Structure 1
Amino acid sequence: MNEQASAPGELAFVEALVNTLDVETGVDALDTAEGRRPFGITAREADTARELREALRAACLAHAGHPPHRTTRPLSQLLAGAPLLVTVDDETGAADLRTAEPTSLTARVAHAIAAAAANGTWLRLKACETHDCLWAYYDRSPASRRRWCSMQVCGARAKMRTYRARKES
């Protein structure tokens, strides 16, 4: 549903993972080998990926000021086991964050979040407030106050519901 470009850098990977479930239709891309391929996971790892996805969605909802849509394990708990390494170049002194297990989905997500937090983009990854959407989107608005993934779809529907509710009162 997102009307704008995806999130910048590695945050696009996190956004894509959250958006593997179409809440409105119930279609879950992690149900298919093709849908799991971008994340490098097997069918056996899909349940773990789903748990991570829903914890990420809860964080994205929190970024937008919305309550979680369901109870999930805390994201920090899920990422606690993701081994990340800080390396420092002896000649230049430049520091870099790397995943100790580059093929681990959890480590890749942890790395993306750490990088996004460092450059100030993590809090701009949000989830649409519409209960039958919950699509992740990157908020590029100057004040970072977007509420919906798409003003033309979810925003228009929400405004129409509010209008009708007022007319019925």
Structure 2
Amino acid sequence: MSERSPAPGGLALVQALVNTLDVETGADSLDTPGGRAPFGLTAGEVPAAVELRESLRAALLAHAGHPPRRAVTPLADLLAGAPLRVAVDPADGTAVLLPAGPDSLAGRVAAAVAEALVAGTWARLKACEAADCLWAYYDRSPAGRGRWCSMRVCGARAKMRRYRAKGA
């Protein structure tokens, strides 16, 4: 959908992870080596990545004011084991958060979430309210009250459903 654009900074990783599952078709790119490659995952790491993905989706639904679609492990519990460290560039003094332990998807997600909290962008990463979509999107609306990943598709479908329900 043309309105879908990558989230800024490290949130692009979070967005990409959540969007590995096409809820409408059930296709999960984590089921393929090519789909796992961008995240550096092995087939054995997929169950933990799926658990992380669905906990992230629940958090993104909460950002949009919606309850989770199913029970998930709390995101804080999954990220608690991913300690972070601050790395400072001696040349220019810029600082970044990095996983403190071995490189892991949870560590990279924890660093992305922490940086987004500081930047004030975390709450703008949301999940589409359409039950057959649930796509992660970055809400670029001025007021930050976007409800759908695409107004042209998911928003239009929701409005059409409401219109038809009124006429019935």
TM-score tier by shorter-chain length is over 0.9
**Aligned ranges 1:141-156 → 2 under 5 Å:** 141-156=141-156
Q: CA offset at residue 92 of structure 1?
A: 7.7
Q: Structure 1 CA distance, aligned partners of 2:2 and 2:11?
A: 15
**Kept in 1: contact 2:60–2:125 (CA 8 A):** yes
User: Which amino acid in structure 2 is aligned with residue 137 of structure 1?
Assistant: Y
> What residue identity is the alignment partner of 2:40?
G
On the 8 A contact 1:2/1:137 being kept in 2, the answer is: no
Q: Secondary structure at the match of 1:24?
A: coil
Once the 2 structures are TM-superposed, how far is the Cα of residue 88 of structure 1 from its aligned partner? 5.5
* Structure-1 residue corresponding to 2:158: 158
1:69-84 map, 5 Å: 69-84=69-84
Q: Which residue of 1 aligns with 2:23?
A: 23
Larger CA deviation: 12-21 vs 82-91: 82-91
Distance 1:10 1:93, change over 3 A: closer
Other-structure match for 1:54: 54
TM value normalised by structure 1: 0.93
User: Aligned with 1:27: secondary structure?
Assistant: coil
1:6 is matched with 6
* Runs (5+) with no aligned partner, structure 2: none
Q: Which residue of 2 aligns with 1:39?
A: 39
| CA-based RMSD | 1.7
Q: Is the Cα contact below 8 Å between 2:61 and 2:68 reproduced in 1?
A: yes
What secondary structure is seen at the aligned counterpart in 2 of 1:51?
A: helix
**Number of aligned pairs?**
168
Asked if structure 2 preserves the Cα contact closer than 8 Å seen for 1:22 and 1:133, the reply is yes
Corresponding position of 1:110: 110
Partners in 1 of 2:160 and 2:147 — Cα distance?
15
Q: Are positions 1:68 and 2:56 aligned together? A: no
Q: What amino acid sits opposite 1:161 in the alignment? A: R
CA offsets, 1:24-51, max 9 Å, x none? Answer: 0000000000000000010000000000
Match of 1:132 in 2: 132
User: For 1:62-103, what per-residue CA distance to the aligned partner results, in whole angstroms no more than 9, with x for missing partners?
Assistant: 000011011100000000000211345789876542211352
**Tell me, which stretches of 5 or more residues in structure 1 are unaligned?**
none
Amino acid at match of 2:129: E
Output the amino acid matched with 2:21: L
Percent of residue pairs bearing the same amino acid type = 67
Once the two structures are superposed, residues 6-25 of structure 1 have per-residue CA deviations (whole angstroms, 9 ceiling, x without a partner) of 10011001000000000000
Partners of 1:40 and 1:103 within 8 A in 2: no
Structure 1 pair 138–167 and aligned structure 2 pair: CA distance change class (3 A): same
